[in-house]
Structure 1
Amino acid sequence: MNSNALSRRNFVQLVGLGLAGMGAAGLAGCAGQSAPADSSAKDDDGFKLVEDGKLTLVSNFYFPPFVSMNEKTGDYEGFDVDLYKAICEKLSLEPNILPTVQFDTIIPTIKQGGKADVSLGAITITDAREQEIDFSDPYLDSNQSIVVRKDATATTAEQLNADGMQIAVQGGTSGEEWAKENLPKATIVPLDDIIQALTGVQSNLYAACITDLPVSSYEIKIAYSDLMIPEGGEIPTGEQYGVVISKDQPGLTKAINKALADIQSDGTMDSLQQKWFGQTL
């Protein structure tokens, strides 16, 4: 899958070691109508939702610890899932989570409208994406990372940028963009999700994987002990994550920005970071 967001530069050290629809029914206070002084955030400037009274989320749920599926319960979970539910609570809307989709379909889905209102899932704010959709204010900072096997001999960008080197990435992400730009001699292999990429590195199918630092740090800690982020493997891209919203729904963007500010000020953001990262960042 860059303002006053929370610093992620020390993530590895701290953790041990991410559409607007045009549905028939809409909320009160549509654009052009004056809202009462005591109206809720969802009435400010007006916005329409795919389902009345619900904020519908689309995401790729293979990007822990931000978005994933609990194999035992079948429930969606993660930092961004909890943040989304906190936003729903602030807007007095019910959560409505759609089945997982491939990451590179998310921006087109939100842009087209009619299926989902928002997307969260460690989605980096970029100029190219902002040509298609709107982002909320940033809520978290991140960098990219190189992941290799612990017994790998090629561990630096210079060593991996060579003919015959296959580098795994999740298709459509900023990790793929970085790899294509900075490893032009290598073969970049876009995959459906980051778990496929990490497993491919683990099995020696790929020489390395490029992905968000919080994700690689988390996965190495809980599931891929034979992989590592080598010395110098943190890539200082200075990325920031935001909520994806349709350009046709400026009122929804405004409401979500207010919700994010409230989540930060009332301590909810700190609590979610403690839960998922083990520290307040």
Structure 2
Amino acid sequence: MKKHHGLLALVVCALLGVCLTLGLTACGGSGSASDDSATKATSTDSTDSSSDGASTATDYTTVTDGKLTMISSFAFPPFEYMDGDDYAGFDVDVFKALCDKLGLEPNILPSVAFDTIVPTIKSGGKADVSLAAMTITDERLAEVDMSDPYMDSNQSICVKKGASATDVDSLNVKGTQIAVQSGTTGEAWAKENLPNATIVPLDDIIQAMTGVSTGLYAACVSDLPVVKYEIEQAYSDLEVTVEIPTGEQYGVAVSKDNPGLTSAINNALKEMEDDGTMDSIETTWFGSSL
């Protein structure tokens, strides 16, 4: 009997050792899980907004880490154009100021056709934002997010000085060719309000105004600030005969998949208004704050 009791004791001790080992292993696993939870909590905390409502860097993603990538059509002065090999214009300066507020390096992609911008932003992966004197419209909001407005604008009709057809009624005639930039609100206005004329969509406003200057087109319809600027700079033979009060507002286009970036841009735009940055950029390009 004593021998049996001794054997039983050995078996019990062995079983206890196994249980103890399993228990320690289980505790080790539990500790690792706790560490993971702590890491996730820290990551989640880092995405919270600061007390003043400004977004932190981890609230959104960018195509390239540490950079904000912009796409635009650089033939729309004074908002965006090429100055030699450099990108220039009001929107370029606004973009760089936004980057400064967000703590990101500006990255500007080569010029594209205006009507390709919204699809590019929508699809993602190539550009984070577009500043392209882009009017906030319901149609665009169905495809992409738009920031709060940063500029007001209207449309205009531009003709050659001395032209006989200068207003909506005289231009709305069969066979009259009206130049517009493809995909713009100027094109949309012309199609709606000049239904009898032939609307000719072009890649950019420079082509449109050059065509009016050479007599190829009877008129062009485009954003008033751009047309006025170009007349002052290069097209002294043209004039604005109709200012169209469309009440448009420009916004920054952002992917709907990146709402945190839209929020951060809105915060940055407000800060730029409050601290005088926007007034300074407006004065640089338009002679005074708007």
Q: Does 1:62 align with 2:75?
A: yes
The separation in 2 between residues aligned to 1:31 and 1:157, in whole angstroms, is 57
| Partner of residue 120, structure 1 | 131
Contact 2:55 2:267 in 1 (8 A): no
Which residue number in structure 2 is paired with residue 220 of structure 1? 231
Q: CA deviation at 1:43?
A: 2.1
Q: 2: distance between equivalents of 1:130 and 1:40?
A: 24
Of 154-163 and 32-41, the range deviating more from structure 2: 32-41
Partner of 1:269: 278
Residues 208-253 of structure 1 show CA distances to partners (whole Å, capped at 9, x for unaligned) of 00000000000001100000001xx000101000000011111000
- Which protein, 1 or 2, shows the higher relative CO under an 8 Å CA cutoff with sep ≥ 6? 1
Corresponding residue for residue 241 of structure 1: 250
Alignment partner, residue 10 of structure 2 = none
Residue 102 (structure 1) aligns with:
113
One-letter identity of the residue aligned with 2:70: L
CA shift, 1:197, in A, is 0.2
| Deviation string, structure 1 residues 37-56 (Cα, Å, up to 9, x no partner) | 58995526711110000000
8 Å CA contact 1:31, 1:45 repeated in 2: no
Query: What's the counterpart of residue 51 of structure 1?
Result: 64
What residue in structure 2 maps to residue 8 of structure 1? none
Identity %: 63
Q: CA deviation at 1:138?
A: 0.3
Give the alignment's TM-score, normalised by structure 1: 0.85
Pair 1:258 & 2:271 matched: no
Q: What stretches of structure 1 of length at least 5 have no aligned partner?
A: 1-28
Tell me how far 1:121 sits from its aligned partner.
1.4
Q: Could you tell me which amino acid in structure 2 is paired with residue 234 of structure 1?
A: E
TM-score by length of 2: 0.83
Q: CA RMSD in A?
A: 1.9
Counterpart Cα distance in 2 of 1:236 and 1:35: 42
Structure 2 residue identity aligned to 1:141: D
Give the 3 Å change call, closer, same or farther, for CA 128–237 of structure 1 in structure 2.
Answer: same
Distance in 1 separating the partners of 2:126 and 2:78:
25
Q: Is 2:138 the counterpart of 1:136?
A: no
Give per-residue Cα distances to partners, 1:165-198, cap 9 Å, x unaligned: 0000000000000000000000000000000000
Q: Distance in 2 between matches of 1:97 and 1:206?
A: 33
Deviation track 1:125-158 (CA, whole Å, cap 9, x = no partner) reads: 0001000000000011100000000021000011
Deviation, 1:35, is: 3.5
Alpha-carbon distance between aligned partners in 1 of 2:45 and 2:115, rounded to the nearest angstrom: 34
Deviation at 1:280, TM superposition (A): 1.4
Q: Give the whole-Å Cα distance in 2 for the aligned partners of 1:275 and 1:87.
A: 17
Correspondence for 2:177 among 166, 169, 175: 166
Larger radius of gyration: 2
In 2, the alpha carbon distance for the partners of 1:121 and 1:132 equals 16
Separation (CA, whole Å) in 2 of partners of 1:227 and 1:35: 53
Structure 1 CA distance for aligned equivalents of residues 113 and 204 of structure 2: 8
After superposition, the Cα gap between the structure-2 partners of 1:36 and 1:130, relative to the gap in structure 1 and judged at 3 Å, is closer
C-alpha contact 1:148 1:228 (8 A) present in aligned 2: yes
Alignment pair present for 1:189 and 2:200: yes
- The 3-state SS of whatever aligns with 1:229 is strand
How many pairs were matched up? 249
Please say if residues 40 and 91 of structure 1, whose CA atoms lie closer than 8 Å, have aligned partners that are also in contact: no
Aligned partners of 1:30 and 1:47 also within 8 Å: no
